[in-house]
Each structure stands twice: as C-alpha cells, then as structure tokens.
Amino acid sequence: MSLEYTVTYSAKNTYENSVFKAFWQFCIIPEDNGTQQLVHWNFENSLNVFNGLSINGLGFKVIRVHPEVSFKTISFKAKFKVIKQEINPFNFEVDQDIAKGYKSILEIAFKTEHEPFLRKTRFTKLPLKNTSLFSFDKTKSIFDNLIELNTWTFEYIDFKAGVTDVDTTLDTIILKKNGVCQDFSHLFCAIARENHVPTRYVSGYLHQGNGYFGDSQMHAWVEAFVPDVGWIGFDPTNNLLVNENHLKVAHGKDYSDCPPIKGVVYSNGWNETEHSVEVQASQQQ
Amino acid sequence: MAINTDANHQIFSSYLKKEGLFDEVFDTNGKVKSIYTKLFDLYGEHSVEDYVHLNGKAKASFFNQGITFQVYGEKEAKEKIFPFDLFPRIIDATEWETIETGSIQRSKALNCFLWDVYHDKKIIKDKVVPLELLSSSSNYLHQMVGVDPPNGIYNHVSGIDIIKHSDGKYYVLEDNIRCPSGVSYVICNRTALKRALFGVFNHYQAHTVTNYAENLLKVLESVKPHGVDIPTCVVITPGMFNSAYYEHSYLAKAMGVELVEGRDLFVENDFVYMKTINGPKKVDVIYRRIDDLFMDPMEFNPNSTLGLPGLFAAYKKGNVCIANALGTGVADDKAIYTYMPEIIKYYLGEDPILSNVHTYHCSRPDELNYVLENVDKLVVKPVDEAGGYGISIGNKLTKKEIEVVKKQVKENPRKYVAQPILSLSVHPTYIEQKDSFEQRHIDLRTFTLLGKDKEFVLKGGLTRVALQEGNLIVNSSQGGGSKDTWVLKK
C-alpha cells in the first residue's frame, strides 16, 4: 500500500525599500528515489516572473526566480504531490560480525569514498572538550550504536523553537541543550562522524499527523552509512527511524549545503521572511 | 666580508658583492659572467646621470601604460607604480629548457591530480597522498566531484614560482593554479625597457614575450564546450578595485575579447549570456579572475555580488568552460606541494625535472616538533594564503615574534608548512635612493598554459625583486619590484 502526500510550501519576503533585482534559488522539490515518487508539482510567485528549473552543484533539483522589476514584497507558493511507499525501517539485515563492521569503516578506500560525510564542518564540529559526549560501544553493532545515539540526542536536547537560528553551532547547542530539528541533526552527525561513521544532513518535509516534533517549516534529519546495508535514515528530533512520513528533498554535509532558499537581493534596509509548510496525507490503493 | 667587483664602469663602481650569495651576473671572483658581458659593457657606457634619466623614462612609460597595482591592508589603499628595474635578467637556452620542460611536467601532473581527486581518488586509495590533505582542505569543492571540465583541463594557466639557490640549481617554491597574476608585467617590462634602451636588443637574440595573449586565446578556444564552432571568450574581473585589475583589462584587450563583471552576464536555461547593445550574446569560455567561492552566490558564498548567479549549473552541464576550473585550489595548497615529486611520479611515471624545496609539514607530529624547535632557522608559511601574506622568516624574527609564530603553529598545525631559509640568487638592481646598483634577491614566475593538445610556456616569465636589502619576499604586494627577463634563443 502507498500513501499520497500533498506538500504546500509558501514563503513571503518583505523589504523596507524597493528591490530592483534579485536572485533566489529554492531547494524544496522532493526527490525521486526508491521510496518516493514525485508525481506532480507547481511553483508560482506573486510577481508572475519566470521560474527556471536547474540542478545545483550537489545534484539536486532547484527552482530559480530572477525578477528584474521593482517590488517591495514577493510571495512564493509551491505544491508537490508525492507517492510514498510504506516503509518498514527495520527491513534489512545487519551483519552479525560486529568487529568486521568497525574494521571496514577504517579502511582507506571507505574513508576516501565517504570523505564529504566524515568532514568536520562548521556545523558538525564538536568543541574539543566535548568530543567524547557519546562514545560508541564496540561490543554492539554500528547500527545499534546509531539507534542509541538517536535516543541519546533526542533526550539531550529539548525541542524549543526560537532559541537557536540557522547560524548556531554545536558549542551553543551543547551549552543550552535547546534547539530545533536542524540542531538535533547536526549533533547526531557530529558524534557519528567523530566515531568514523559517515552521516548526511537531510532536509525534507515531515508529515506531523502522528504528533511528531517539528514546526510548520521544513524538517531535517540524518542518514548514516551502515556498512553492508547502506544509508539509513534517523530522525533524532523524534527518536525514530525515518519512515513514510519523511519526504526527502536533499542532503549535504550540513545545513549550509541544502538550505531551502538562497538569495541575492539588491536592496538595503530591513527585510522579513515568513514561510510555512503544510503536509497532508491520504491513503492510496 | 664584502668584496668589490673589478668593475671599471661608473654605475657599477660601488657594487658590493657579498660572500655566500649566488650572484647571477658576477662569478665568485667578481668577474662578469660571459652571458652578461655585452650587456654589462652597454650599461657601463652610461654615466650615473644618464642612468637616472633613463630610469625616469622607464617609470614614465609605466605611468603612461597605466600599470599600477594596489597593496591591500595599508591604511590608505593607494595605486602605486609597479617598481621596475632597468637592468634585465638573462637566462640562457639550456637553462631555460630545464625550466620549460619542468614547468610543463608540473602543470600536467597537477592536472592529473585534479582529475583524480574529483573522480576516483586513486592516489589517496593507493596511499601516496594522505586523505587528510583532502578532507581538511577548504579549497576542495564537493560540487566539482564527477564534473568533467571541457577537454579534461583544470589548470589552463599555471604560475610556477622558481628560485635559483646558492648551489646554482633551480627549485620550485610553489605552484599557483587559481588566478596567477603578473603576466601583464612581463610584457610591460619589455615595452618599458625597449622605450628606455632600445639599442640593447640588437646585441642579444631574446625570445619575444608579446605572444602570450594569442597563446592564451588559443588555449581558451581549444577548451570550448562541445558543439560550439567559434567560441565567444570573455575575461571576468571582480572590478577596478582588485589589485590585478590592470592585468585583467590588459589580457582582455590583448586577446580582443570583452572584459566583463558578473553584472554584465546572466544565466538563462543554464546557458551564459553577455548583455550587449545588440542583445544577448552566448558566452562559451570564461577566463575568470575571481576566486572560486565568489563565482556563483547560488552555489558558494551567498553574499557574493561579484560573480554570476547560476553559473555553476551552466558549467556543470558543460554549456560553458571556466578557466581555470573551480576547485583547483586543492592542488596548489602548499601542503600538497610537499607531495609534488610523488605526484609527478604517480601520474607521469617520470622523475621531477625541477626540484622541490624540502618542506616540513606541521600536521606530522615529529616534523611539527622540529619546526617548533627551529622556528628561527625556518621559513614558516600558511598553506592557503597568497601574495606573501602570513610568511615569517626565522632569522628576521625577534624572540617575542618567534613565540607568536610557535603559538600559531601549535594551534593549527595543518595550516602551516616550513622550509629551510633558502638563499635566493641575487641580481644587480638599481636602488633609487642610493643612485647605485646593489645586490637584491630575485625569483622567477613562469606562466604555463595547458589546452587541448596544446602546451605553452611563456619564454620570459616575471623576475621579481625584493627591493629591501636582505629581504627574501619578492611579492609586489610586499613592496617587491621586477625586471625584464630575457630568454635567449639557441
């Protein structure tokens, strides 16, 4: 059985002074992959200027808007219909040879292949004094450790919106122990990488129907590479494995690789951005 | 001890030759080397007054050509005339052959290295270059992974810095493959020297340097995107406030192509267009003089207003060629430089023609200890800065300064390499304040071009002079000057 999701993304930018030229790039289109299929989408802006489609440097579809008319506010609206298969997150077998797993992640070919996702970036670098916040228990498999890390992160940070922002790094998050999905994901990534497990920061949408944590914006979670299995999704904000309620858009080394919106605006003075996301689900035969 | 040369000529009569320095013009006995005899006599015919007059003429030539540059970081950003020395440097045909083949060899090896690190990364899996150098490099662009630049060329233009050591051998100091500058000065030095002293050229058979631009254009055209017959090439500059703006405008003019800024271009459907009075014109090859991270705000630094939004997607699709390719900085990192002999052997199966200077890598613990204990005997360099910034030369430092350097290195060992203090060769240089010639340290930047089935090394290069006595840093941004460089025909 599969589910059909309808995602509505809206954003509105307001500027103190007139803008004469601007560029925006939206990384908000759900990707087509083994578990999800994008069946329909549309995107419009209030100025009715041309929206272009392109692929960014990391290989994800992006929408470009480039108005060359004067304006003070602009709003964007996108609608996506995605068919998603029901997922059993535990539908794989983990190698019983625990030591083999730890050995394989230290091989040079493995480390070279996964280099980007083992990097300590600005957002995934643990402060020196916190590098052993959570250490893997080598008597348990990598997968079991990741499950425990997921729970540990969920318990370590209290979900609280407005305390952190898109520039917050781990030193602040560890100090305040408050944050949103982005912060949970960065902490999970950092600790897994500290233990030599490649992790990808994922941005996407969450169907919150089951009372999951998140807010009415895009969601973030993590994919970790488990040897012999592949990439597995973990959602530390909700202490669960990624399932059919997670609609993936893009992944990267950290948030800065896949922000939903990037823009260059030729204007001065203050500006304001509001955005919201709504995800609805319906059963499909 | 200082010895006097046996110069009878007026303008060389007070030339002091210090022991232990390799003088390119005078041998150890103070005799003029044969290659310079004619030149020495020609210059000797002039009185000091004549020379002062000629020097003024050369300076005027620079001023009239508009050749100025800016030094960053000074309180007042001021345009300066590029200091130029009238006494040229001569390199004979045999020595030049070594430099030329050596430069091409390095450029090719660097190109192979770049291809590899953005594709299979074999050199790392084979443990020739440690993964750490890649994973900690901020110049490694993940967006470039798997991208095939037109005709497989990454470093279309390489500027390789070479010095002659007191043992008389050439050594490479560093490879510059991002936006190496200085070639316009090579050409202008020649023009200025010809204007001041035309007659000297009748006595030597020196190669021309004015063919650089045509070769650069050929290289740019050779890497045109697939399906383009006659490519439209442009030079992109950050603008007139960039220290190398003169060079950008010179190259565009000499190649007969447009000099543009980001705002003169736009991207539509992943093609790049130039705004012209006749409407949009598709651009096929961009010779860029803007740093990677400023080239496309949609892909890299979102605050950049210098570049062109959407350029990278057009590049990735193969609709436009960028020279040099983005992400080349990973290979001219000074830490990668230490592996150049291995890199050359790995990809080309050859021994390096030009030697490397022995380099200590502070990210290796035992080498770090050696560096920390011997800061006073070493040149310590940050791996990722250009223009001579951040370099400390051990024997010029006070005790306090040594402690500062140690602290910096300890805090971020990956950022630093160290080399023994080399004795760069010296060349007689006219010192305005003293109205006489003195020994000054020099180096040489060669310009190598790689295109599809095409290699070219400019027969000349930029000889840079450290104008302050005893100084080893020759960069113009650090107050260095330059000399015309003659490469003799066989």
Give me the CATH number covering residue A31. 2.60.40.2250
CA closest to A114 among chain B residues = B135
Candidate ranges B128-137, B155-164, B190-199; pick with highest mean pLDDT: B155-164
Same domain, B387 and B309: no
Residue A116 included in any domain: yes
Same domain, B296 and B393: no
Same domain, B148 and B223: yes
Same domain, A118 and A196: yes
Strand order in the sheet with B265-268: B265-268, B271-276, B279-282
Same domain, B206 and B333: yes
pLDDT value of position B70: 64
Looking at per-residue pLDDT, the higher value among B474 and B77 belongs to B474
Given B134, B270, B298, which is nearest A115 (Cβ)?
B134
Same domain, B297 and B377: no
pLDDT value of position B28: 87
Cα gap B135→A200, rounded to integer Å: 15
Q: Is the pLDDT of residue B153 over 60?
A: yes
| Number of domains chain B contains | 2
Cα gap B109→B346, rounded to integer Å: 9
Same domain, A62 and A150: no
Residues of B in contact with A55 (CB under 8 A): 313, 316-317
Residue B444 included in any domain: no
Residues of A in contact with B312 (CB under 8 A): 56-57
Give residue B3's pLDDT band: very low, low, confident or very high (50, 70, 90): very low
Q: Is the pLDDT of residue B96 over 50?
A: yes
- What are the helix (H) ranges across B208-295? 212-222, 245-255
Same domain, B101 and B179: yes
Q: B314, B272 in Cβ contact below 8 A?
A: yes
Same domain, B284 and B399: no
Residue B442 included in any domain: no
Residue A90 included in any domain: no
Question: What distance in Å separates residue B407's CA from the closest CA in chain A?
Answer: 17
Q: Which domain holds residue B382?
A: 358-420
Element (H, E) at B41: helix B34-44
pLDDT value of position B76: 59
Residue B467 included in any domain: no
- CB contact, 8 Å: A226 with chain B? no
pLDDT value of position B100: 97
- Average pLDDT of chain B is 90
Q: Which 3 state secondary structure label does DSSP give B483? A: strand
Same domain, A63 and A188: no
Cα gap A8→A217, rounded to integer Å: 10
Answer with the one of B348, B381, B397 that is the final residue of a domain.
Answer: B348
Cα gap B31→B383, rounded to integer Å: 40
At A203, which CATH number? Answer: 3.10.620.30
Cα gap B180→B183, rounded to integer Å: 8
Q: Is the pLDDT of residue B7 over 60?
A: no
For A60: left if phi > 0, alpha if psi spans -120 to 50, otherwise beta; the answer is beta
Give residues with Cβ within 8 angstroms of B10, minimum separation 6.
B44, B46, B47, B48
* Burial of A211 per CB tally in 10 Å (0-12, 13-18, 19+): exposed
Residues of A in contact with B121 (CB under 8 A): 112-113, 115
Looking at per-residue pLDDT, the higher value among B302 and B218 belongs to B218
Give residue B1's pLDDT band: very low, low, confident or very high (50, 70, 90): very low
Residue B42 included in any domain: no
Same domain, B237 and B303: yes
Taking residues B479-489, what's their average pLDDT?
90
Same domain, A34 and A126: no
pLDDT value of position A8: 95
Residue B84 included in any domain: no
Element (H, E) at B131: helix B131-135
Residue B258 included in any domain: yes
| Number of domains chain A contains | 2
Same domain, B293 and B388: no
Residue A215 included in any domain: yes
Cα gap B361→B374, rounded to integer Å: 13
Share of chain B above pLDDT 90, in %: 60
Give residue B238's pLDDT band: very low, low, confident or very high (50, 70, 90): very high
Residue B363 has a CB neighbour count (10 Å cut-off) of 18
Q: Is the pLDDT of residue A91 over 80?
A: no
Same domain, A179 and A225: yes
Residue B6 has a CB neighbour count (10 Å cut-off) of 11
Residue A92 included in any domain: no
Same domain, A126 and A250: yes
Same domain, B103 and B186: yes
- CB contact, 8 Å: A128 with chain B? no
Q: Is the pLDDT of residue A112 over 70?
A: yes
Looking at per-residue pLDDT, the higher value among B46 and B256 belongs to B256
At B385, which CATH number? Answer: 3.30.1490.270
Same domain, A105 and A243: yes
Strand order in the sheet with A240-241: A240-241, A230-235, A219-226, A199-206, A246-252
Answer with the one of B348, B376, B400 that is the final residue of a domain.
Answer: B348
A52–B305 C-beta distance less than 8 A = no
Cα gap B481→B159, rounded to integer Å: 17
Answer with the one of B376, B395, B420 that is the final residue of a domain.
Answer: B420
Same domain, B243 and B367: no
CA closest to B317 among chain A residues = A55
Q: Is the pLDDT of residue B113 over 90?
A: yes
Length of chain A: 285
Same domain, A236 and A279: no
Residue B368 included in any domain: yes
Q: Is the pLDDT of residue B6 over 60?
A: no
Give residues with Cβ within 8 angstroms of B463, minimum separation 6.
B89, B427, B442, B443, B444, B482, B483, B484, B485
Same domain, A253 and A267: no
Q: Is the pLDDT of residue B256 over 70?
A: yes
Token pair 């631009």 is at which residue?
B213
At B193, which CATH number? Answer: 3.40.50.11290
Residue B225 included in any domain: yes
Residues of A in contact with B131 (CB under 8 A): 108, 111-112, 115
**Cα dist from B251 to A140, A193, B172, B204, B456, whole Å:** 63, 46, 26, 27, 16
Residue A267 has phi, psi (to 5 degrees) of -165, 165
Residues of B in contact with A266 (CB under 8 A): 305
Q: Is the pLDDT of residue A285 over 60?
A: no
Cα gap B42→B123, rounded to integer Å: 53
A262–B297 C-beta distance less than 8 A = yes
Residue A152 included in any domain: yes
Cα gap A39→B333, rounded to integer Å: 46
pLDDT value of position B388: 67
Same domain, A245 and A266: no
Give residue B415's pLDDT band: very low, low, confident or very high (50, 70, 90): confident
Residues of B in contact with A23 (CB under 8 A): 297-298, 309-310
CA closest to A50 among chain B residues = B268
Element (H, E) at A42: strand A36-45
Mean pLDDT lowest among B50-59, B268-277, B469-478: B469-478
Q: Which 3 state secondary structure label does DSSP give B227? A: coil
Taking residues B169-179, what's their average pLDDT?
92
Residue B123 has a CB neighbour count (10 Å cut-off) of 20
- CB contact, 8 Å: A111 with chain B? yes
Cα gap B419→A198, rounded to integer Å: 36
Q: A30, A71 in Cβ contact below 8 A?
A: no
Given B145, B299, B304, which is nearest A56 (Cβ)?
B299
B302–A115 C-beta distance less than 8 A = no
Same domain, A135 and A104: yes
Residues of A in contact with B145 (CB under 8 A): 116
pLDDT (tens digit per residue) in B380-400: 988 877 666 788 888 888 889
A115–B135 C-beta distance less than 8 A = yes
B93: closest CA among B208, B207, B209?
A: B207
Taking residues B27-48, what's their average pLDDT?
88
Single-letter amino acid, residue A93: E
Cα gap B456→B448, rounded to integer Å: 6
Same domain, B383 and B241: no
Same domain, A48 and A113: no
Residue A91 included in any domain: no
Q: Which domain holds residue A263?
A: 2-85+259-283
Q: Is the pLDDT of residue A218 over 80?
A: yes
Given B124, B143, B266, which is nearest A57 (Cβ)?
B143
ipTM above 0.85?
yes
B305–A115 C-beta distance less than 8 A = no
